[in-house]
Amino acid sequence: MRAEVIYTGGPIYSGHLGWKPAEAVAIAGGRVLAIGSREEVMQTRGPATVLYDLEGRPLLPGLIDAHLHILGYALTLDRLAVAGLPSIKAVAEAVAAEAARRPAGEWINGRGWDQDRWVERREPTKEDLDQVSPDHPVYLQRNCNHVAVVNSVALRLAGITRETPDPDGGKIDRDPATGEPTGLLRENAQLLVSRIIPAASTERQRELLARAMREALSYGITQVHTDDCRYGGGIEPTEALFKSLVGPDQIPLRITQMIPIDQVEEAAARGIRTGAGDEWYRYGQVKAFADGSLGGRTAALLEPYSDDPSTTGIYMYSEEQFKELIATAHALGNQVGVHCIGDGAARLFIDSVAEAQARYPRPDARHRMIHCQILSPGLIDRMVAERIVGDIQPVFIKSDGYWFADRIGPERAASSYAWRTLREKGVPLCGGSDCPIEPLNIWYGIFCAVNRQDLNGFPEGGWQPEQRLSVAEALDLYTTGASYSTFEEGFKGTLAPGMAADLVVLDRDPFTCDPSELKDVKVHLTVVGGTVGYQA
């Protein structure tokens, strides 16, 4: 076989047998044909081979975002953005401006607020919104998506009163003096309002998703592990939406779709379980939530929050319900991935995996703990014993670093966001952005893994610098680690012969540039399965 394209003229990092650079790589039929010295690789050249001169630029395996919501992100492009606003007053002004340009009664749907970044240092209430939007229902999610604030119009339309009970796995905040809802809805209580907000049309969803997928390619992302069936209206319509866009003749971005745990038996009846599908659209882990977010104080902790001893967070299910859900998904042959931010949630998940394996033994299930933020002593060793993959989001540190020690106290903080400890103890790791919780730009995550700072370089030396990863270890999260997490280590993640021709060409070398520049890396070329998906 002759090469279709040979890339040479810059360092080529295969990720295969370490990260030592090669001189050339040959591609044919969507796969890597050869890699090594220029002399060796040029032997695959034929009369039709294209010779691509890298002009000194580095070439790496394509990057994989191991946890995000790309359709969820796409839909935020139509929502009011309040991220980064400095105060409740500024948010109210943004809502007022939006209300002024919309007819009365039309929803104002937004997201991105963070009370820990506001001058008021408090959570918002319906009164903050009522003043500026008396005629429009308003729904504003916190940046974590686990808490929302709504105004009185929205409460009325949803039928939420002082008599409305808290839903399972959710909480309606109430005024302690009157019992009236304050407008804050936590976890599943958000659904009481969000389900009555009119959805975007299928054509608008398709347009926005195409924009988001092309943006992912521009960052060098060649595959996403995405949790989007709840945004797309279920397994079938979500699959139809993605398949209308994905592939080498359309947008060449590989999609691994998560299966909602409440639809796992329905999926099994349709022959859908982990691994079903093809190389462009396939199904991955069964996704469940064990708890909420640390920022919203709904992450489930074993001990009370240090800055609010009245709560230990929220579990999304009873212990019995949760263990049965995990056992059922496991018994059906699935990998299970569970959102666990608090150490209480982490312990419950590990216990559930151990019980599921005892009932239905399966040696290589690779169940995934998503986020792994608060891990009290002993939990990491138990993850190793149960062969659980750690699905981490290093980019969280740029936002959480300012306040997570206040939430949980210095003792628990010392064993949290513990990426190096996880790695050194033998937990297989993969990395994701959790976009739209954090930006889609995967290089922010690589920067945070290496520097443990915010994007402005604060604090000097980084938060808990002993937990930093090297550049090679950070890249492993988004290449070999991510492919292992979906049982695809024999297909992609490195540029060894026979592997998928998923590659990215960069404007600078991440191994030789200053670590502070990793957030500024720009992509020159993204290729997926031999197809150019993005070119600067």
Name the superfamily (CATH) of residues 5-56: Urease, subunit C, domain 1 (2.30.40.10)
Q: β-strand 170-174 against 221-226: which pairing, if any?
A: unpaired
At residue 427, does pLDDT exceed 90? yes
Q: b or e along 76-93 (b: 16 or more beta carbons within 10 Å of the residue's beta carbon)?
A: beebbebeebeebeebbe
Do 212 and 245 meet the contact criterion of CB atoms below 8 Å apart?
A: no
Mean pLDDT of 112-140: 95
pLDDT 10s digits, 181-222: 999 999 999 999 999 999 899 999 999 999 999 999 999 999
- Confidence band, pLDDT 50/70/90 cuts, at residue 16: confident
Do 25 and 12 meet the contact criterion of CB atoms below 8 Å apart?
A: yes
Tokens, residue 480 = 């070999």
Q: What is the pLDDT of residue 168?
A: 93
| Percent of the residues in the chain that have a pLDDT greater than 90, as a whole number | 98
Mean pLDDT of 10-30: 95
Q: What is the pLDDT of residue 415?
A: 87
pLDDT 10s digits, 289-319: 999 999 999 999 999 999 999 999 999 999 9
Q: How far apart are CA 449 and CA 394, in angstroms?
A: 5
Residue that the structure tokens 């002399």 belong to: 39
One-letter amino acid of 130: D
Do 290 and 339 meet the contact criterion of CB atoms below 8 Å apart?
A: yes
Q: What is the pLDDT of residue 195?
A: 94
Do 35 and 13 meet the contact criterion of CB atoms below 8 Å apart?
A: no
pLDDT 10s digits, 163-172: 999 999 999 9
Q: What is the pLDDT of residue 251?
A: 98
At residue 17, does pLDDT exceed 90? no
Mean pLDDT of 418-435: 98
Q: How far apart are CA 362 and CA 333, in angstroms?
A: 9
Q: How far apart are CA 208 and CA 212, in angstroms?
A: 6
H/E element, 322: helix 319-331
- In the 8-state DSSP scheme, what is residue 262? G
Name the superfamily (CATH) of residues 64-69+202-494: Metal-dependent hydrolases (3.20.20.140)
Q: How far apart are CA 525 and CA 59, in angstroms?
A: 9
- CA neighbor of 4 nearest in space, from 54, 63, 58, 52: 52
CB-count burial class (<10 Å; 0-12, 13-18, 19+) for 177: exposed
- Give pTM, 2 decimals: 0.93
Mean pLDDT of 456-476: 97
Do 444 and 516 meet the contact criterion of CB atoms below 8 Å apart?
A: no
- CA neighbor of 315 nearest in space, from 358, 347, 273, 279: 347
Mean pLDDT of 501-511: 98
Distances (CA, A) of 494 to 46, 181, 474, 503: 25, 53, 14, 9
Mean pLDDT of 514-527: 98
Q: Tell me, rounded to whole angstroms, the distance of Cα 413 from its chain centroid.
A: 22
At residue 329, does pLDDT exceed 90? yes
Q: What is the pLDDT of residue 92?
A: 96
Length of the chain counted residue by residue: 536
Q: How far apart are CA 87 and CA 330, in angstroms?
A: 45
Q: b or e along 329-364 (b: 16 or more beta carbons within 10 Å of the residue's beta carbon)?
A: bbebebbbbbbbbbbbbbbbbbbbbeebbeeeeeee
At residue 18, does pLDDT exceed 90? no
Query: How many other β-carbons are positioned within 10 Å of the β-carbon of residue 207?
Result: 15
Locate the domains of the chain by residue range. 5-56, 64-69+202-494, 79-194
At residue 131, does pLDDT exceed 90? yes
Mean pLDDT of 69-94: 95
pLDDT 10s digits, 221-243: 999 999 999 999 999 999 999 99
132: CB partners within 8 A, 6+ apart: 92, 93, 95, 96, 99
User: How crowded is the C-beta side of 354, counted as CA atoms within 13 Å?
Assistant: 12
Do 56 and 21 meet the contact criterion of CB atoms below 8 Å apart?
A: no
Q: b or e along 15-46 (b: 16 or more beta carbons within 10 Å of the residue's beta carbon)?
A: bbeebeebbbbbbbebbbbbbbeeeebbebee
Query: How many other β-carbons are positioned within 10 Å of the β-carbon of residue 1?
Result: 11
Mean pLDDT of 427-437: 97
Q: What is the pLDDT of residue 279?
A: 97
Do 410 and 378 meet the contact criterion of CB atoms below 8 Å apart?
A: no
Q: Average pLDDT, whole number, for the chain? A: 97
| Percent of the residues in the chain that have a pLDDT greater than 70, as a whole number | 100
**CATH number, domain 79-194:** 3.10.310.70
454: CB partners within 8 A, 6+ apart: 397, 398, 399, 401, 402
pLDDT 10s digits, 136-148: 999 999 999 999 9
Q: What is the pLDDT of residue 475?
A: 98
Do 205 and 71 meet the contact criterion of CB atoms below 8 Å apart?
A: yes
